[in-house]
Structure 1
Amino acid sequence: MSARDKDDVGSVPVYVIESIPVRGDHRVGPDEREREGIPAPPHLRIGPELGHGAMGHVHPALDRNLLRHVALKRLDKHHLGVDMYRDGFIAEAQITGQLEHPNIVPVHELAVGDNGVPYFTMKLVHGVDFKKWLASPEHLAGSAERLEQGLEIILKVCDAVAYAHHRGVIHRDLKPDNVMVGDFGQIYLMDWGLARLVKTKPASGQRAQMEAQGPVGTVTHMAPEQALGNPDDMDERSDVFGLGALLYELVSGQTPYGRPRNINDALFRATGGKVIPLETAAFGIHVPQRLNEIVMKAVAPAKTDRYQTVVELQKDLRDFLRGGMHLPTERYEAGSLI
């Protein structure tokens, strides 16, 4: 979770107080904490909400002992009475906490507040998400800078996903919003709330949120099998599609299924695997043939036609970068002076 839009704590010089715990009031009043169900553990000083999703809310917080700024994610109080949501929230923290990798945001703590609301704390990332990075005027679609820098970012995301797959976890919601680009080059894959175990099973078995039937992920970036909604049909290759969707958007500025009219149209396109050819989406942009082949293989509608592992996709991307094939080219007539 980024703090750039709220408090630029990343630019504050390191300081030492030499006593614990550090005093100071929460920056969220008691009435709001009670009304919204915001946990207020004594070792943290809670700040105003940074953002929220369907299941939870995120706040900046200060660890009163370590003077470390963290992000606190709490379950929405309206979901407390639903076992599947509560267990799913806890599962997200436990999964992320076990995935110790330089490109996966670290989880520090999982607990239940005095008000009964579960929460976990994680690293507070200072930077922007990849969606904002892609939309920046500094990274115009078609520019060599955007392509080279963006491929380096996606390769780091591939590292994170490949490690998760090795540990038996698929992400199932790979999209630019869930990739954080830090101010000093750090790349983090965020939000493992839709992750699924593929080598083990959760203690709650088929009642677990990760085993629920129905479309999973973000429809503009999900593989057809995710849109069709049978968890047993989703595997590592579903994440390969998600990575391919990131590549597709990096290269063309568009998403694989184009611009659907509404959610029903989006699901129709996703379930049918109606991926628009990259050369159509990137009309007017020079796309090297080899890169076009890599992207279209990654977003192939049929799992058997995709890269079978993230490592295979990574190898082709790295070979493409090392070969300098991303550099702009210019053709000259025979006999021309260069």
Structure 2
Amino acid sequence: MSPSDNKPDSDKPQGNQFNPTVPLDKVESSVPPPDTTFIPHIDLAATMMEDWQTALGDDVAPGKTIKVPRSDSDSLSNTVKLSDELDATQTYPTGTGTDDDFVIGIGYEVDQLLGEGGMGVVYAGRQQSMDRPVAIKVLKPETEQSDGSQRAFTSEAIITGGLDHPNIVPIYDLGKQADDALFYAMKQVEGVEWKDRIATNSLSENLDILLRVADAVAFAHARCIIHRDLKPANIMLGSFGEVLLMDWGLAMPTQDHPRRELYHTPAPGGTPYYMAPEMINGVEQVDRRSDVYLLGGILFEMITGKPPHTLDAPPETQREHVVACLAAVSQNMIAATEKTGELLDIARKAMATNPADRYQSVPEFQEAIRGYLSHEESIELAARAAERLDVARKNGDYEEFSRTRFGFETALEEWPENVRAQEGLKATKYDYAKTALDRGDLDQGLSLLDETNAEHSKLRSSIQTAIVKRDTRQQQVRRLKRVSFAASLVVALVASVATVWINSERDKALVAQDKALAAQKEEAIQREQAQRSEQEAQEQRLLAIAAREKALVAQKIAQENEKKAIAAEARAKQEAQKALHNFKIAERNGYYSDMLLLQKAWQDADPFKLIQILGRYRKREDLRGFEWDYWNRMSQTNLLSFREHSGKVTDIAYSPDGTKIASAATDKTVKVWDTRTWTAKVQAEYYARGLLISLRQRVESLEELQKRVQEDKTLSEGVKNQAFEWAELFWKNRVVRNIPQPESGKIEAPL
């Protein structure tokens, strides 16, 4: 356990066994230090011996109410006088007999035993005069002879009977039995105790019950009454939704109560699991803020599943367990929990050791809870975004990162102080940027990081370094491409020259061959010349062979260059595909930016901007997501709402001179708005026009519109005739444009 003013270290949960050797100022505190003028610690051993020891019976338990016995000298002299004419002959069982002991008297019939508390027994019965079921509470035999107990019993009935509130059990009657034993009759509630449902109820259900109980406590405080024993066991949940605060046996008047002297002198008491520290000392320091502490204890149990003064290692006997709990109460040691959050912070503040550090009234405590409920949507959005972030981290999906970012940003718009959304948005941008870096999308990654965020600086440096390396590589590739291109041109030129030369040499060889043939014919005459010519021809053939070999070499070079050109073309295709991928990413990012612009257009009540942006993606189903569908639905509903209608607006029309606008709604009314003053009038003669505008949204043709009007038996003939006269005009006017704006620049259209 830890003092409620001290926040346990999240990494090292604190044990919740009371340890008086640990100084309170050595524990890290999450709230301002308490006012040193308030000292809750007491000499517990002495107090137990003098005040509490006698209250610890055999059936004592930390969850049961403990009442310190009062002195019999506490007389009944100032108590409101009871009428003993109510049931002069009635004798009620006191829990010691059998069903045969039940006696049916004049005023009430007694049925069965419902339960018993510290000093009273409760029976089910029936009030004969009103013929209604009641619960009848009588004193136990061992306490009924004590004047102090009788006065406490009377005070409980008078206090409860004076609090007429829907969440406080009503008292019907107070009187004496024939043997002067006191009783009072109250409403019999059919239901269960909240303690049996608090663990299975949802948080929202428990918060609703707590706020209703707080209403009852605030009402009692306004009547100068303090309950002192608020706990789930004292709250009944009826079968029909009732929430009733029961058991006002420890209730006491405040110091400023106008008739404080009519009530018994209060004695110390409470339930150890829930008690405020000042309740240990007696009643002098107990005030309305003690009930605030008890409400905070119930809230703590709703969140953590255990009462605030629960022990981790309780002693073996119940008596020692109660003593240990009271010791924890005296030091305000609160059970350790790993739970965190705004709601737990509210509970801890309500349970502050010093009453001055708590909420100073029940309404202030309720306002804090309602403030949490107003943030609930933002908290839920942040929680869902956090789940998406886990998915995005696992699969590295850009779209999941974008949706996660959108979710956190929306949560912050709902509640800018949402710490989880703030941290989640930072983490999302960081992880998104890191994923982009791993995939080589450096510019996109850099755009996601905040240069003012120290946590992003290292990743920004890594991305910027990678961008410099990428740009350097791209420059080298461009230079290599230029050199390769120049080399290709040189090779092509050489190949061309070689081809021309080869062709020329081939022609020369043919000429030489012709000369050789001619030389053969003249062989006899010019043998020597023929031999020389043949030799020349042979030389030419050798030259041709050499030229052919050179041509083959040139051809191989050309083939190699062709392969390089094909590889360069493949790389160019890859660059084009990458450029297309980046274009799609940019297009997707543009879509999410437009979704944010849609939200701004909605906030600015700019329907034309809203429709214009929606139109960009109406045919782009590959880009559209749930955000577009959401704003598309919103553009068709709430943007066209006017405050004066009870139903949703289905269409509007305007006069030719632009001075009036007619709006029609599903409530079958038409209101005419003066655009100069923006006031609306409802005119009966526009009923038929409103009918047409309302029907036009649900039919497909003018003939079907006329048929629907004709078949409506609720319309008068005058309205039908007027509707038929205007039907064709209204069918043609399906789109309304150029609506004149008021001087403020906006048509009032609340969400």
Q: Same fold (TM over 0.5)?
A: yes
Q: Distance in 1 between matches of 2:149 and 2:131?
A: 32
Q: What residue in structure 1 maps to residue 306 of structure 2?
A: 254
SS at match of 1:232: coil
Is the aligned partner of 1:203 residue 2:268? Answer: no
Q: What residue in structure 2 maps to residue 132 of structure 1?
A: 196
Is the aligned partner of 1:161 residue 2:214? Answer: no
Aligned counterpart in structure 1 of residue 134 of structure 2, from 48, 63, 70: 70
| 1:28–1:48 CA contact under 8 A, matched in 2 | no
Cα deviation for residue 133 of structure 1 reads 1.0
Cα deviation for residue 258 of structure 1 reads 2.3
Is the aligned partner of 1:264 residue 2:323? Answer: yes
Aligned counterpart in structure 2 of residue 299 of structure 1, from 344, 348, 351: 351
Instruction: Output aligned runs, 1:57-206, within 5 Å.
Output: 57-135=121-199, 138-139=200-201, 146-198=202-254, 199-200=256-257, 202-203=260-261
Change (3 A) 1:35 1:223: farther
TM score, norm. by length of structure 1: 0.79
**Structure (1 or 2) with the larger CA radius of gyration:** 2
Cα deviation for residue 189 of structure 1 reads 0.5
SS at match of 1:49: strand
| 1:61–1:71 CA contact under 8 A, matched in 2 | yes
Cα deviation for residue 159 of structure 1 reads 0.2
Gaps in structure 2 of 5+ consecutive residues? 1-90, 316-320, 393-397, 404-751
Q: What residue in structure 1 maps to residue 297 of structure 2?
A: 245
SS at match of 2:197: helix
Instruction: Tell me the matched-pair count.
Output: 290
| 1:44–1:62 CA contact under 8 A, matched in 2 | yes
Cα deviation for residue 41 of structure 1 reads 4.0
Q: What residue in structure 2 maps to residue 49 of structure 1?
A: 113
Is the aligned partner of 1:224 residue 2:311? Answer: no
Amino acid at match of 2:170: P
Cα deviation for residue 244 of structure 1 reads 0.4
Amino acid at match of 1:203: E
Aligned counterpart in structure 1 of residue 360 of structure 2, from 289, 308, 333: 308
SS at match of 1:203: helix
Deviations 1:114-163 (CA, angstroms, capped at 9, x unpaired): 1211100111111111101124xx43xxxxxx110000000000000001
CA RMSD after TM alignment: 2.6
Q: What residue in structure 2 maps to residue 32 of structure 1?
A: 97
Q: What residue in structure 2 maps to residue 323 of structure 1?
A: 375
SS at match of 1:46: strand
Change (3 A) 1:52 1:69: same
Cα deviation for residue 103 of structure 1 reads 0.5
Give the number of the structure with larger relative contact order, counting CA–CA contacts within 8 Å between residues 6 or more apart. Answer: 1
Q: Distance in 2 between matches of 1:170 and 1:64?
A: 33
Amino acid at match of 1:220: Y
SS at match of 1:311: helix
| 1:62–1:69 CA contact under 8 A, matched in 2 | yes
Q: What residue in structure 2 maps to residue 17 of structure 1?
A: none
SS at match of 1:51: strand
Deviations 1:234-285 (CA, angstroms, capped at 9, x unpaired): 0000000000011011111011122243011101000111123xxx42x3x5
Amino acid at match of 1:109: D
Moved more, 294-303 or 317-326: 317-326
